[in-house]
Amino acid sequence: MRIPAELAHTLTAVVEEGSLDAAARRLHVTQSAVSQRIATLERIAGQAVLVRSRPVRPTPAGEAVLQFSRQVAHLEADLNGALRRDEAGRATVRLAANADSMSAWLMPALAVLATVHGIMVEVQREDESRTADLLSRGDVSAAVTTRATAVSGCSSTPLGTMTYEAVATPAFVERWLPEGPTPAALAVAPVVDFDRSDDIQSRWLHAVAPEAQPPRHRIPSSSEFNEAIALGMGWGLMPPAQRSELDRDLVALGGPTIAVALHWQQWRVRSALLDTVATEVRAAAGAVLAAPHPQVG
């Protein structure tokens, strides 16, 4: 089966814009032309590629076409760069990363990509255990993830390990944990979570007080999450580097440290653009994270 790139790119525009009408404006064609292209694509695929909801969303077959379209776009960007057909144009790379990586070590890599290589970046922030899902759907072309096993069609490279420790303010400890992090105290001492998918506090709590069910705050922003702990709203886990950067009086609660192994996964296509991104990301990770285990897949 051969999917014409124009049809695949049209589907991408429809999904990203949310409707056929918005895609038509982006592509500078009529809505009827967009509808005809989608119909042709579905005829070639032998199945539906769109769920006609509001906004529209891709079917599983449509997600496969989206991944193909975005891979083709990367190859086209590489070709345009090699041929220098558009001196004013800049390639854009879609990446997925968790908030802690963004604040602790990834931003210097993104800055180098922008200022040295002229690459535009579009980052989707997601929990590190779920970023690979964005990669498998074709929403991004590379991701920082905890998944070592490569997503189908991708390569996986270990970046290193980020270590977390439980911390709180001295005043919080004096009020809620005067005798230390005992199971009874941890059952009532408030916790700060990043969001509902953030399980790192729960992992630490399970190791120290498996039966505890404390009240929880949820602060879905890395800087504000750290600030909430620094203001005494609750205890939570932080990498030591973030703790030191806060310049606030925080104390470690003791108990286990939580080590999170991070990996870089990207589409397995011959792309100078992605290779450049990977090089800068690995360099930034190597400057901050603990050394990785030997390379996987």
For the chain, the straight-line distance linking the first and the last C-alpha, in angstroms and rounded, comes to: 28
> Using CA atoms, how far apart are residues 240 and 221, in angstroms rounded to an integer?
18
Of 131-140, 174-183, 228-237, least confident by mean pLDDT is 131-140
pLDDT tens string 260-297:
999 999 988 777 888 899 999 999 999 999 887 544 33
Instruction: Report pLDDT for 95.
Output: 92
User: Given a cut of 60, is residue 130 above it in pLDDT?
Assistant: yes
Q: What angle do CA 131, 133, 138 make, to 5 degrees?
A: 105
What average pLDDT does the segment 135-148 reach?
86
The pLDDT-based confidence of 75 (bands split at 50, 70, 90) is low
> Using CA atoms, how far apart are residues 49 and 122, in angstroms rounded to an integer?
25
What average pLDDT does the segment 14-18 reach?
91
Domain with CATH 3.40.190.10 in the chain: 162-259
Instruction: Report pLDDT for 295.
Output: 44
Instruction: Report pLDDT for 254.
Output: 92
Instruction: Report pLDDT for 84.
Output: 36
Domain with CATH 1.10.10.10 in the chain: 1-66
Instruction: Report pLDDT for 105.
Output: 92
pLDDT tens string 157-206:
999 999 999 999 999 999 999 999 999 999 999 999 998 888 899 999 99
Query: How high is the mean pLDDT of the chain?
Result: 87
Query: Looking at domain 1-66, does it have CATH number 1.10.10.10?
Result: yes
Percentage with pLDDT > 90 across the chain: 52
Instruction: Report pLDDT for 244.
Output: 75
Of 43-47, 125-129, 205-209, least confident by mean pLDDT is 125-129
| Domain covering 162-259 in this structure, CATH number | 3.40.190.10
Identify the bridge partners of residue 94 per DSSP, sorted by sequence position.
122
Residue 64: name the closest of 3, 14, 155, 146 by CA. 3
Of 34-38, 100-104, 255-259, least confident by mean pLDDT is 100-104
